[in-house]
Amino acid sequence: MAFFPDVPKIAFEGPKTKNRLAYRHYNASEIVEGKTMQDWLRFSVCYWHTFRGTGSDPFGSATLQRPWDDGSNSVENAIKRVHAAFEFIEKLGAPFYCFHDRDVAPEGATISESNKNLDAVVKALAEEQQRTGVKLLWGTANLFSNPRYMHGAATTCNADVYAFAAAQVKKAIEVTHQLGGVNYVFWGGREGYMNLYNTNMKREIDNLGRFINMAADYAKSIGFTGQFLFEPKPKEPTKHQYDFDAAACLNFLRSYGLMDKVKLNIETNHATLAGHTMMHELEYARIQGVLGSIDANTGDLMLGWDTDQFPTDIYLTSQVMLVILAQGGLQPGGTNFDAKVRRESFEPVDLFHAHIGGMDAFARGLKIAAAIRADGVLAKFVKDRYSSFDSGIGAKIEAGSVGFADLEKYILEKGEAAPNQSGRQEMLENLINDYL
């Protein structure tokens, strides 16, 4: 059965095409810096926004037309949705998808019933993966929607809820493993607080550390070798989330002995909510050796919440790709569109326009970043800027062979530091524009 009868398989037609249902820049097999675009970008469709989003907001109800979905909570409906999803992903030509346990299968009255529902849908997912060749980039557990998680899951004050969350994550890791998932994500939506008067922060963060270590132990015990990823976000739904940004996550990972077990999944709109640019978060994660994967989206400059819009800004995607190229790729991570169409874009075809735009924006970003790197002007500028550390006193500082007394002696002899050189910010901003 065709769920998108009017949409053919999306093809690469080049920048001059007039066809809006075609790629202008994303050419999966095109080689950039020695790898195909498909391998650099590793695009993934997210199940929650794309197949569970309804268009409702705090002020209005559902708007999105999803003719394959009868709106019920039945397993049958969930399986029909799987077929619509895989037709979409296949026509788009994205190699991966991602899901939360509760996106794909309905929650039952007990955890056993939920697990049974999940098993039934996972069977359909496995069949569709097999049929289409689409793979699972990551699975995760929804530990935030059900009211039991009102105080958090791994940071709850209720030990039974903690146990429930552990059982849910155990099952989610199992099905991710079963489906050949190459990563497993932890986004701690309610792992934070609304108010410090009622919160034992130390106990909550220690318990979170125990939880992630138990998850890693369990994954190892069942032979799951996928990569664990934390997804930083500063707030929403909590006032303060413990995984605030990449730096806060790093401190957590180091404190709880998780550095070799977990990397980061960086999301654009979360970076900006934390007061950082996406490039900052990516670069910080990269230099610390924990850049694992990205959730590609964008916020709205005028709105202060997680609007999860599709990324179309070429500056943004070029900056992202500069960091990803510098790292040599994201594998086994990828580029997951954690993004949703606006509620006014209610037709199924809008899902195609949204993803095509995001994929083309990233493909352009990849080509632009590769051109910047090939010219080498930017890299040379940065290298030269720090050249005082390549020899003389700078080299001694970086080698750790001098102390304060040596540095004082050095500068007493010189009397004054060598003159500074211009940072040339404006010139470099103009330079970047040459490649766009």
Active site (annotated) includes residue 276: no
Return the number of the residue (295 or 360) whose C-beta is nearest ligand XLS.
Answer: 295
Q: Tell me: does residue 243 bind ligand XLS (CB under 6 A).
A: no
> Angle CA(102)–CA(107)–CA(111) in degrees, nearest 5?
110
Which position among 66, 91, 177, 233 is part of the footprint of ligand XLS (CB under 6 A)?
A: 233
In whole angstroms, the minimum distance from the beta carbon of 107 to ligand XLS comes to 15
Return the number of the residue (337 or 352) whose C-beta is nearest ligand XLS.
Answer: 337
Three-state DSSP state, 186: strand
86 contacts: CB under 8 Å, gap ≥ 6:
128, 129, 131, 132, 134
Question: What count of Cα atoms within 13 Å lies in the side-chain half-sphere of residue 168?
Answer: 27
Return the number of the residue (123 or 239) whose C-beta is nearest ligand XLS.
Answer: 239
Q: In sequence order, what DSSP letters do the residues of 371-406 get, joined into one string?
A: HHHHH-HHHHHHHHHTGGGTSHHHHHHHHT---HHH
Active site (annotated) includes residue 160: no
Taking CB within 5 to 8 Å according to partner kind, which of Ni ion, ligand XLS, none is near residue 24?
none
Q: Which of residues 285-314 bind ligand XLS (CB under 6 A)?
A: 295, 306
Rounded-to-integer distance, Cα 174 and Cα 380, Å: 48
Which position among 187, 193, 211, 310 is part of the footprint of ligand XLS (CB under 6 A)?
A: 187
Rounded-to-integer distance, Cα 164 and Cα 142, Å: 12
Q: Which of 101, 103, 245, 306 is catalytic?
A: 103
Q: Which of residues 325-364 bind ligand XLS (CB under 6 A)?
A: 338
Q: Tell me: does residue 87 bind ligand XLS (CB under 6 A).
A: no
Three-state DSSP state, 62: coil
Report the sign of the C-alpha dihedral through residues 351, 354, 357, 362, in that order. negative
In whole angstroms, the minimum distance from the beta carbon of 270 to Ni ion comes to 6
98 backbone dihedrals φ, ψ, rounded to 5°: -140, 150
Residues at the interface with Ni ion (CB under 5 A): 267, 295, 306, 338
Among 161, 162, 152, 232, which Cα is nearest to 192's? Answer: 152
Return the number of the residue (174 or 306) whose C-beta is nearest Ni ion.
Answer: 306
Question: What H or E segment, with its residue span, contains residue 395?
Answer: helix 392-399
H-helix segments, 133-245: 159-178, 201-221
Q: Tell me: does residue 140 bind ligand XLS (CB under 6 A).
A: yes
Three-state DSSP state, 69: coil
In whole angstroms, the minimum distance from the beta carbon of 46 to Ni ion comes to 8
How are beta strands 31-32 and 335-337 bridged, if at all?
unpaired
Taking CB within 5 to 8 Å according to partner kind, which of Ni ion, ligand XLS, none is near residue 140?
ligand XLS
In whole angstroms, the minimum distance from the beta carbon of 58 to Ni ion comes to 17
Return the number of the residue (233 or 276) whose C-beta is nearest ligand XLS.
Answer: 233
Active site residues: 100, 103
Contact positions toward ligand XLS, by CB under 6 A?
100, 140, 185, 187, 231, 233, 267, 295, 306, 338
